Each structure stands twice: as C-alpha cells, then as structure tokens.
Amino acid sequence: MPTEAVLIVDAHVSMRVWDRVVQQVPEALAENLTHVRVVRLLGTDETVPSRVGTDSVLGATEEGTRRVILVVTDGLAAGWHLGTVQPLIREWTLNWPLAVINVLPPHLWFRTGLDVSHVQVKAPGPWTANASWEWRLRETPPGLWAGAVGEADGEGEDAAEGDPPSIVPVLSLLQHGAKALSGVLTADEPLWRDLPALVAHRWKARPDSARAFPWADEFLVSQSPPTAASRVSDFRAAASPTAFQLATRLAAAPLSLPVIRALIHSTPGAEPVHASELFLGGLVRPTGVRDDAPEAVVYDFLPNAREQLLAVGRRSATIRTVREVRSVLANVPSSASLLPPPSASLCDPTVPSITSRNAYFHRVELSAMVAVSFLGRAAVLRDALRWHDQRHAVRLNDLPPAAPDVIPYPRPVEDQGALRMTTTPQRPEEGVRTAQPRIWSLPPRNQNFTGRTELLDLLDERLGEGTTTVLPEAIHGMGGVGKTQLAIEYAYRHQAEFDIIWWIPSERPGQIGQSLVELARRLGLTTSSEVNVAGPAVREALREGKPFSRWMLIFDNADSPEQVRPYFPTGGTGTILVTSRNRRWGLVSGSLEVDVFTREESKELLRGSGPILAEEEAEALADALGDLPLALVQAAAWRAETGMSAAEYLRLFESKKDELLETAPPPDYQLPVAAAWNVSLDHLETRSPAALRLLQLCSYFAPDPISRKILSRRESNRDDPFPELNATLSDPMKLARAIREINRYSLARIDHRTNSIEMHRLVQHVLINRMSPQEQDSMRGSAHRLMATADPGTPTDPTSWDRYAELYTHVMASNALRSEQSWTRDLVINVAKYLYHWGEHEVAVDFSESAWKAWLELFGEEDHQTLLMGQWLTWMYWTVGRYQEASDLVEHVRRVYDRVADPDAESVLDAIDTEAGVRRAEGRFQDAVELNRVAYDRAVRAFREDDPVTLNIAHNLGVSLRLTGAFREALELDRKTWGLKLRVFGRDEQRSLITENSIAIDVREIGDYIGARRLQESALSASRELFGGDNPNTIDTVRELGIACRKAGDHARALEFALEAQEGFTRRYGETHPRSLASALTLAIALRQNGDLDSAHARGLQVCSGYRTVFHERHPYTMSADVGLAVSERLLGRPEEAHRLDEAALEALVDAIGPLHPFTLVTAINLASDLAALGEYRTAVDRGRETLARCLETFGPDHPTTLACAGNLAQDLVSIGLHDEGAALRRDTGERLERVLNTSSDGQDATAPHPAAIEFRAGARANCDIDPLPL
C-alpha cells in the first residue's frame, strides 16, 4: 500500500541555521516511504492561531494511500511558547498520525516552547490518527496539568467542553525514537508504548505568556530586568563550552544568517545546535527580519550583552571574527560597502562615511574594537558615529506620543483572542510620568507604601535645590522607621527625571565597590571587573555627565561617612541620596530625619489589609506598636493571614511584650518589633518548624539578599544539629515550601527576580534573642557550613567574584572569622584573596588583619591556617607598600615555621619566598637572592624542578638576580624556567607570561635593545589577549615595552607606552603606589627624551617625593629617581643641583648595593657629566676612568652603558688636552656603538640608525637612566 510523509518544516528564522540538516531528512524518509512531500510552516512567530498555516494546502490523501505528518521545528518561535501553533497541530491529528521532530537534542527541549512529558501511547490500529489514540502519563510532574489528563476519554478542561486535546509524539532528529513511532503506526495489535510527547490543546490565550520568552523581562518593568552581566553569567553556566565560545564570536558580528553560518563553520566543533543555544539563552531576541542576506540582521543582542560577551572572549578570536564578517559582507554586492574591505587594516585611521544603512554595522565593529583595545580605530568610529547621531537626532518634542503598552516582537494585533503583553510600571501615581531611566537598579517597590507625603515633598525640595558641587542628602533615623522604603518610593515616583538610578548597598565598602563595578558595565565604561578600575571610571563618567548627566546614586545603610564618601563623584549634575542610622551624616551633608509614623499613617497602614478595624481598635493597635512601621507591617500581615480580631491580637502582643521585659533585653532592643514578630514566630513554630529554623539560619547572615543558591545543599549533612533544617536545605521542594510559609506571614522579603530572601536586622535580632545560647552557637555553625559549601574555590577567577561579593557580606555579618570549622576558615582565606584580586586592596588588608588577629587569639601562632593567613597578610602589606609591617610579620612567620614545620614543606618554602620579596622591597637585593636560592634548592630537592611550586620560586629567584645586576644569570634561569612552564602550563597562562616578560627584560638589560623590543611586543600581545588591557600584568608589560622602545631609539612610541602605563596604574592604584611611581619615572624619562624638559622635571620631582614616602631616603629606587631628576636639572642649566643629587645618590648606592652594581655605575657616569658641566674636567676624567673600568667588569666592552661611559670619557680626555687618547677611544667607541645599537644579538638589523649613534657622531654627551626593575 502506498505511503506518504508530509514533512512540514518550521520557517522561523531560528530554523534557518539548520537548513543543511533538514535537507537530508527527505532523503532518509524516502528509503522507507513511497512519497515524501515538503511544505513550510508559516506564522510560528504569530500571536493568534488564525495566522499560522502552511505555504501549500495539504489536501486529502489519494484513496489507498497512508499519510504521516512530521513537523520539523526547534520550538523557539513565539507561537510555540504562546500555544498558537498547537491548535493547527491538533487539527491535523484529527485526520492523520502526526509527530514532531525537534532538531535540538532532548536535554534542551525544556528550554523551548514544546512542553514535553513522558507518556504511554496505544493506537487502536495501524496508521490511525492521533485523536483516536489512548494515552496516559508515565509520571505527573506537579502542577503541569490541571488535573491528571488521562486517556483521551474526556478528562481535563478541554475534554469537559467536548474538545479533547491530542497527544503528539516528539522525536529527536538524531536520537529520534523512530522505532517506537513505527511501532505505533504499523502495529496490528494495540500495545502501550513509551514516547516523549506534547499535548496539543485548542487555542486559549495565556495571561502570563509574556514571561515565556528568554528576553521577556526586558519588557516587564514591574520587575527590574536582570543585568547583562548576570544574563551572560547564567548563559555561561547553562551553555555548552562550544556554544559559549561561539557566542563570544557572534558578539563581534551583526547577526545575519550568512554571518551566523560562516562563524559556525569557522568555530572549532561548532554545529547549528550551538547557535540555537544562543538563540534560547536569553541574550538575543529576533528582530522580525526574515531575509537571508548578509545585511539582513535577524537577531540582535539585548542591551550590554554584546559587550559583556566580548569582555570574556579571546582577543584573537574577536579579531578573526571582525575580518571574517568583512569577508562575508564583501562577497555580496548589496552589502560590500557596509564595512571596509577584508584587506583593510583593523587599525586604519581613515574616518568612515556613516550612513543610516551602515551605522549599525559600524557600531558592532566599534564594540569589537573596544574589546580588543584597538583604541585608535575605536576613537575614529566613535567620533564618526557620534557625528552621524547628532546629525540625525530627533528632538523629543517631535516624537509621537508613546503608546500605552510596549509590545515585544512579535507585535500582537488586535484580534479575537490576541494577547497583549503590557509593561505597566509598578503602581504609577496619578499625573506622574513613569518612563524608566535608561540605566536602572532598584529594589522592588513596596505596593503597600503608606503616608510620608510631607517627607517625600521635603526630600524633593531639598534635592531639587541644586548646587555646582554634588552634595549628598542623608536620610537618617533609628532602625525600623522605613528609611530604605522612603528612598525607594522617592526613586520610583521621580524615575522619569533621571537617566540613571542606581541602588548601592553600603554597609561595607566591598558592597559599594561591587555595585560600582556593575554600574561601570552598564555604562559601557570598562571591560575590567576589578573595582579599583571600575570605581574611578564610574565617578569620572558621572562627573563629566557622559553618557548621561541626570543621575541619582542611592547609598543605602551607609554607616560611616568616612568610609563611604570616597565613593562619591566629586562633581556633575546628579543627585546623591544616603540612608543611614548614623546622625553624623548631618555634619557632612544635608540631613532629613525619619521618625515613626504619625498616628494617622499608622492607622491607614493597619486598615489597608486584614479584617475591618474600628477607629478605637486601630488607635489601640497603633499605640501598642509605638507607630513603628516595621512592627505595624508585621501586625497587618499577621491579621491579614489569620483574620484575628484586634482584641485577640492585642492580648497576644501584650503577653509577648511582658515575656520580653522579663528577659532583660539589651538597650537597643525594640520591644514593639520583638513582640509583634514573636506573635508570628510562635505560630510559625507550630505550623512549620522547618520554616522557623530557616529564618533562624538567615538571622546569622547579613541583612542583605541571601541567594537561594547559597541556601541549597546538594546532599544531606548528617552532622547538622537541626534535622528539620538539614532536610529543608537538601530538598528543593521542602525549601520552596518553607520559603512560601515565610512569605505568607511577611517574615522576610522574598525577591523572585533575584531568587533571594532578605531580613531586616531588627528581625534578625529578635530571632537570635529567642534562641538559647547553645542553639545560637549551633545555628551560627550551620550558617558557616552553608557559606563554606557555597565557596566556589576560585578567588582569582572573575566569573566567581559575584558569588564572593555576596559571601563577603555574610562572612562579616556572621563573624565567620572566629569560626573553628576548617572549611569555613578556608572560605575566609579565599574571601581575602578575592578582595585582593578584585582590586579592593585596603579592604583586603583590613579583612586579612582581622582574620590574622582572631586566629592568633583562638588557635595560636603554630596553627597551620593561622600561618597561611600570616603569609597572605605579609603579601597584602607588601602590595599596599607597608613594607616595614611586611618585614616584621614575615620574620615572625619564618620563626614559627622554623620551630614547628618540616624545612622542605611547601608552606615553609612559600614563607621563605615571601620573605625574599619583602627584602627586595626593602632594597636588600643580595639578601633576597640568598633567600631565593635556599628556597629554590629545597624545592628542587623536595618537588623536582618542573613542579609548580619550584617554578614559582625559580621565577622569583630570577627577579632577585636581575635586581643585583646578574642579568646573564637571570636570563639563563628565566629561559630554563619558561621552557618548563610552557611544558607544564602552556603559553596562554599567567605564570608562563610573567616569565616570558622577564626574559624580555633580561635581554634588554644585557644590552640587546632591538631583540628586547621584539620580545616585549610579543609578550604584550599575549598579555592583552589573556588578561585584557586593564590587568596590572598587562600594564606592567606596556611600561616595559615603552622602556624597550626608548632603548631601541623609538622615542615617540616610548612616550605613548609610558603615558598608557602611567594612566593605567594611576587609575588603578592612585599616584602614590609603587607601580604608579615606577611608571611615572618611566614617563619622566620619556618626556625628557622627547624634548619636554619642564614636564620631565615636574614629573621627576613627583616621583622623588613619592619614593621617599613609600620606601626610605636611601632606598635604591629613591636614588634612581634622584638620578633621573639630576639629568633634567643639568639639561635645564642647573649643573650644581644635578651634581648634588648624583653625588648623594652615588654614596647611598655604594653603601646599599656596592660599587659594581649597574645602578651605581649609571649614577657615576652621570656624575662625571655633572663635573664636566661645572668645568671640572680633570675630576670628570678621573671619575670616568674609574667608572669605565668597573663597567667593563660588570657589563663587558660592548654593552651600551659601557659605551656611553667611554664616549663621555673620550670628550673629557680631549677637554684636558689628551687628544690622541681621546680620539682613539672615541673612534673605537663609535664603531662599537654603531654595531651594538643597530643590530640585535640574533643579527637582525634596526630599521633606522639609532638616535644615540647619531648624537654621538654629533658630539653630544650620553645621559644614562635607571629604570626601576619589577620587584
């Protein structure tokens, strides 16, 4: 008997990436069926069933022919989510057997619009239509069906109306279960067969369907949408590694179908399914365009998602993507002119002609250029696009009135049963605009906000006065009076007046920094997640009003003005609002005190919910509760839930109040809050002990949102002293039930947007006070164990920093620093490391100091983890320039290790290595070498030379050797270390790259400037790709490349790199950090070499002063700054001052590091030049002869420093009449100088004569400089 398959292919744009795969399906079907017909399913992105159909009529089958319908889809189109396609599917099942083939693998089906469940199916006969099949669920997922939809005999809502649903098998394209379906179609005997299937209902509009789309919360402004960073983080967690890699490449491209296909093809391991993961991942949304052309953009990224993906992508992959996009566009005449041709340089400074047709494509390329730090090209594109935008800007007055609803794609049409997806803001006030700011972060609005009209008006008046300097306005008052709620309500009422409203939890500096990092991302200011980069960038952007000048920052619960004020922008036209319990804010800003409710406000709130209250009852309740808003809210919630009369509630309340007074509560204990809450807590203890235990647990966390991820255990903990709590935390269903109970009585604030729970600090106080001392200790321990379980264990990984930022606040609030649990102490160490790597160095020092002191007291100095914290604190002291404290602490840690530990233990070797670093910072370079040699020899003996511990110590030994002037020994060791690191780690790893950079410095210091520049350029390229442009390792490499360029004679490039490094370190650390000072000295030298003597002198003075603050008066680096300043003094015509500086520096350097050290010899060379400038030629000659002999011993005859000394001496010899000796020395020096400066050690010639060689021929003296080497 003839058989026919009708293959109905979903025509939605997301299916177009599967074209090649789908084209193979008819061929496979033709092997078993007589005829295969292909039609397209149109309108799957429509919102009403009447618009869904096929491009050709299916028609009736010929007599005797058996037909099966196979619908091929990915289930991503809007119609599958909304249920507008399923009615047509159901209609077909009335006449023929039908199955859906999902091109996606089964593990992704739950993220599509196909609600698939496991069912058992029994067909009455072969080739019968689905409508006649019996079916039953193998298991009923809770809440999935409205009643147990059983066989097709009439159960369920549809069946009740005589319109039963049909069951439709869903098959995988690759693992397609065709055997099971074949059994259903061809079986002569009815049998139950297991199949995944969906239920095709009749059409029914879903009121919540706007939430069905991954991008839908962009339009639900009643809830603040998740940030781009959190979207990308969620996508990374859910997506396959290949899909994430493909997404980071697609972020650098316009998402047209030819471009998407090209990038799938060129990404290793990528297939269409990986593009589909992006389509359903909540980062992109369809544009409504359906054309298959390079210029037809079919998907676009949600705001800031593109930039977030580019920030975590590989630089080389982004560059390759940009070139590939240009190639795809160039292949088609209609799109060839949209971007420069593939052959054009990505750094081309040519200004493009921006039109409305190509502007989008240039914007995408601009994002890519910023991500790869092609800042020149980025600036050109930014300026061109800004000019285009200004030219084509539309005035707001010219825009048509906004529609009442904002409707996401696809746009619904007024039709019977059509859905309207509205974006009504939260409770708009009459007559008030409700347009949201462009950048927005606020807690949910309190829908029951009551009263405070006068305070809100007064606050608006105070904030509206305006000044030329941004001054904060503080809202202060005792706990529980509603300071935070007042600020939230004000922000919602005035949201239309601002472009930016940003909420900043401020109890601890770490929280402020985290909020500013996220704001920097939203502003598109930086790709770095480090707070000491993002924070200053945000403050500067707000001060300048770029990109928006109308902004409001709300610092919530800011206790200390001294801690919080450094985070304020220092100017601009924005607004700062502070909430605090601290009255001292009134001394530094405008201040508005919030007191308890007025009696009328109290009664209004109490009457807002629950049983009706008489006037005298409301009066009595308000009086008993002291008009305290927090207590009033709890009482209202209790009465609304239980229906209890006012008299009964007052009786309960008074009994609880008397109990509390008998326990002699602390002075700050607020009785109305405690009594009101104990009424509810007593009831909860009876109704749901697990929910009460969960609240008690949360009372030991910070009064900030607690992520449900932290509250969830993957497995049960049998040692937990609270069995009901353990069961709740290890079972997601029980945890959800407990949270619902808590929410029912308003015992905590549940935020479904962030999936978190938050408690007021006064309520935490009440809960803790209810527990016995033993219960308190046990519950605190449970909280600590839960926090330790949530530790990602990767404090150096930026993707873990959001979790650590949350854990930090809870660690501090729960006093985890005094926990005796080993895992909790590991968490404390990791939090300390996170704070350092995140960039909050001062906060990291304070945190580490607190942990060190607590552990010394609790566990003693010989405890292993105490010693580890001591080592870390030593490093932190070193990092922030507190070298004396670092020295004292490391000596203490070493003494303890020598007493209690195996001398070859890893921790002991780390301590020795740390002490060597401290000695380097103190200027005791030779002591550092000796310590590093001891550690290295022990490490080789204990762990072998290729162990990571040994390799780290070997690298640091190379650093110490270089500081003593043993450049060739350092180079030999660094090359060996790098080779081992390449074998162990590979090149694209931080530990390998820092040693590669060291090799470049070694090569420079032995005198091969051309070779050093080439190596340094390679190291910088790798560092930018691995770390990004703002990483301190990258900035260090930029500085070193600037030095290499200057030494190689490229003074213009040297100045560019010096400026970049100085700006980078100053932005990150401020002007007084050792790294900032080193980069400032490099910049001063570069300025002088480029002829700007005045700027060089000013910068040199700054460095001299800074080094004296950071180090000490006679530190080698302080003297190096003096030597550089002396050159500027001499060139500015002040040789006496130059001589004074150089003479003092020479004396100090001889004492500190010896007469043969390179720093000492450079100083001696310059001192001879000072003497010659003063006319003391014979003294200059004596100094020159002595120094040349020492240069030959230290550097050898062909080193540029030796030749500089010899060239200067030749001039001085001639000046005292020794013409023959001077001429001979000059001739020999000139030949060597030409050869050395213009050729690298591997024979590569310079592209142009070296400026020093040209100046030598012109008779100029050589000036030498000391470039601070990395410590």
Sign of torsion, CA 494 497 503 506?
Answer: negative
From the list 86, 94, 93, the residue with the least C-alpha distance to 202 is 86
pLDDT in tens, 821-839: 999 999 999 999 988 888 7
Query: What is the predicted pLDDT for the residue at 298?
Result: 92
Question: Largest Cα–Cα distance of the chain, in whole Å?
Answer: 122
Between 885 and 139, name the one with better pLDDT: 885
Find the mean pLDDT for residues 690-705.
87
pLDDT above 50: residue 308: yes
Between 174 and 21, name the one with better pLDDT: 21
- Cis peptide leading into residue 410 (ω within 30°): yes
Query: Is residue 425 helix, strand or coil?
Result: coil
Distance (Å, rounded) from C-alpha 599 to C-alpha 478?
18
Would you state the torsion angle of the CA atoms of residues 1212, 1216, 1222, 1226, taken in this order, to the nearest 10 degrees?
Answer: 30
Winning range, highest mean pLDDT, from 145-149, 412-416, 719-723: 719-723
pLDDT above 90: residue 1181: yes
Cβ partners under 8 Å of residue 856, min gap 6: 866
Where residue 124 falls among pLDDT bands split at 50, 70, 90?
confident
Find the mean pLDDT for residues 1243-1265.
82
Query: What is the predicted pLDDT for the residue at 154?
Result: 37
Give me the phi and psi of 131, to 5 degrees please.
-60, -20
Residue 751 buriedness (CB in 10 A; 0-12 / 13-18 / 19+): middle
Domain ranges of the chain: 3-211, 216-395, 439-592, 599-687, 1151-1271
- Angle ∠(208,211,216) on CA atoms, nearest 5: 140
CATH homologous superfamily for the domain 439-592: P-loop containing nucleotide triphosphate hydrolases (3.40.50.300)
Find the mean pLDDT for residues 343-347.
77
pLDDT in tens, 758-776: 877 767 777 887 888 888 8
> Poorest-confidence range of 500-504, 957-961, 1161-1165?
500-504
Where residue 404 falls among pLDDT bands split at 50, 70, 90?
very low
> Poorest-confidence range of 598-607, 917-926, 927-936?
598-607
pLDDT above 80: residue 272: yes
pLDDT above 80: residue 367: yes
Query: What is the predicted pLDDT for the residue at 187?
Result: 66
Winning range, highest mean pLDDT, from 284-298, 369-383, 408-422: 284-298
- In the sheet that holds 117-122, the strands lie side by side as 53-54, 35-42, 3-10, 66-73, 98-102, 166-172, 193-200, 117-122, 134-137
pLDDT in tens, 140-188: 434 333 333 344 333 344 444 457 888 999 988 764 445 556 766 776 6
Between 1081 and 519, name the one with better pLDDT: 1081
Long-range contacts of 1201-1206, Cβ-Cβ distance < 8 Å, separation of 24 or more: 1201/1007, 1201/1158, 1201/1161, 1201/1162, 1201/1165, 1201/1264, 1203/1229, 1203/1232, 1203/1233, 1203/1236, 1204/1165, 1204/1252, 1204/1262, 1204/1264, 1205/1161, 1205/1165, 1205/1168
Query: What is the predicted pLDDT for the residue at 644?
Result: 72
Where residue 1116 falls among pLDDT bands split at 50, 70, 90?
very high
Distance (Å, rounded) from C-alpha 406 to C-alpha 225?
15
> Poorest-confidence range of 146-155, 564-573, 1031-1040?
146-155
Query: What is the predicted pLDDT for the residue at 402?
Result: 37
Between 392 and 427, name the one with better pLDDT: 392
pTM, 2 dp = 0.56
Between 643 and 935, name the one with better pLDDT: 935
Angle between helices 241-250 and 257-266 (to 10 degrees): 130
Distance (Å, rounded) from C-alpha 235 to C-alpha 247?
10
Identical fold for domains 439-592 and 1151-1271, yes or no, is no
Distance (Å, rounded) from C-alpha 9 to C-alpha 434?
43
Between 195 and 1162, name the one with better pLDDT: 1162
Cβ partners under 8 Å of residue 413, min gap 6: 47, 48
From the list 590, 364, 311, the residue with the least C-alpha distance to 470 is 590
Find the mean pLDDT for residues 671-698.
76
pLDDT in tens, 570-589: 777 788 888 887 766 766 66
Residues of the chain above pLDDT 70, percent: 84
Distance (Å, rounded) from C-alpha 1233 to C-alpha 1218?
22
> Poorest-confidence range of 490-499, 870-879, 1111-1120?
490-499
Query: What is the predicted pLDDT for the residue at 480?
Result: 61
Query: What is the predicted pLDDT for the residue at 465?
Result: 61
Find the mean pLDDT for residues 713-720.
60
Query: What is the predicted pLDDT for the residue at 245?
Result: 87
Query: What is the predicted pLDDT for the residue at 623?
Result: 81
Q: What is the CATH number of domain 1151-1271?
A: 1.25.40.10
Q: Are 1116 and 1149 contacting, i.e. CB atoms less than 8 angstroms apart? A: yes
Where residue 1216 falls among pLDDT bands split at 50, 70, 90?
very high
Find the mean pLDDT for residues 187-194.
76
> Poorest-confidence range of 393-397, 765-769, 1023-1027?
393-397
pLDDT in tens, 1047-1080: 999 998 898 899 889 888 887 777 888 889 999 9
Query: What is the predicted pLDDT for the residue at 547?
Result: 79
Query: What is the predicted pLDDT for the residue at 687?
Result: 80
Number of Cβ atoms within 10 Å of the Cβ of 144: 13
Average confidence score pLDDT of the chain: 82
pLDDT in tens, 55-68: 888 888 888 888 89
Query: What is the predicted pLDDT for the residue at 679?
Result: 66
- In the sheet that holds 590-593, the strands lie side by side as 439-441, 500-505, 551-556, 575-580, 472-476, 590-593
Q: Are 1103 and 1124 contacting, i.e. CB atoms less than 8 angstroms apart? A: yes
Between 467 and 860, name the one with better pLDDT: 860
Distance (Å, rounded) from C-alpha 1267 to C-alpha 649?
77
Find the mean pLDDT for residues 302-329.
87
Q: Are 594 and 482 contacting, i.e. CB atoms less than 8 angstroms apart? A: yes
